Amino acid sequence: MTHSTGRPVTANLALTLDGRYHGPDGPADFGTFVPYVTTDTARDHMTRTWTDATTAVLGRNNAEGFLGFWPSVADDESADTRDRGYARWLVQTEKVVFSTTLSRAPWERTRIVNAPADQVIRDLKAHGEGEILVNSSASIIKPLLTADLIDRLYLMILPVVLGGGPRLFDDGLPSTAWSMTSRQTGERGELAVVYDRA
């Protein structure tokens, strides 16, 4: 990742063919995604996202959802080993959660921030080691794309056109070039791709 001058910043998100990351009824409108994000391809892809990451960056909604679910998976011997690996990583790693409403973190190893995303990420890049993973939080990924601060994109492309809902890539982003460094196609037609800054 030659673009980065400090810690690499990575981001992961599932997108439909028309670029949507959830349906028109809001973040809970995710039912269309579920069959695709629980496949072997998706689980392998998820494992790639966190293997070299030492910091997880989340929006408050994702933090509440993830940290309300994944910790119980960490010790569930009946769970897929890839899910357990991710769950343990999420529990144990440093977490930075963006929120305008929380004043204290209800989770261990978590810091709450209320500042512009680019400012927080620049500070994280200047300290510590390992990748900074913006974990499925479009509200943070979008301003970081605008600020040209993302070095790697982990995308799950689903063979679905939703026709409504927010898109990741809005008009007005800076022009950038990317190189595909990994791709895996699943049995349902889902595509797990990794793009690095060219």
CB under 8 Å to 34, separation ≥6 — which residues? none
CB under 8 Å to 2, separation ≥6 — which residues? 197
- pLDDT number for residue 2: 40
User: Where are the chain's structural domains?
Assistant: 9-168
How far lies 90's CA from each of 15, 101, 152, 168, 198, in Å? Answer: 22, 22, 19, 24, 29
The CATH code belonging to domain 9-168 is: 3.40.430.10
Which structure tokens are listed for 65? 């959802």
CB hemisphere CA count around 197 (13 angstroms): 18
- pLDDT number for residue 87: 96
- pLDDT number for residue 132: 98
Distance in angstroms (rounded) separating the CA atoms of residues 198 and 14: 22
List the chain pLDDT tens, one digit each, 198 residues: 444 458 999 999 999 999 999 999 988 888 999 999 999 999 999 999 999 999 999 999 999 999 999 999 999 999 999 999 999 999 999 999 999 999 899 899 999 999 999 999 999 999 999 999 999 999 999 999 999 999 999 999 999 999 999 999 999 999 999 999 999 999 999 999 999 999
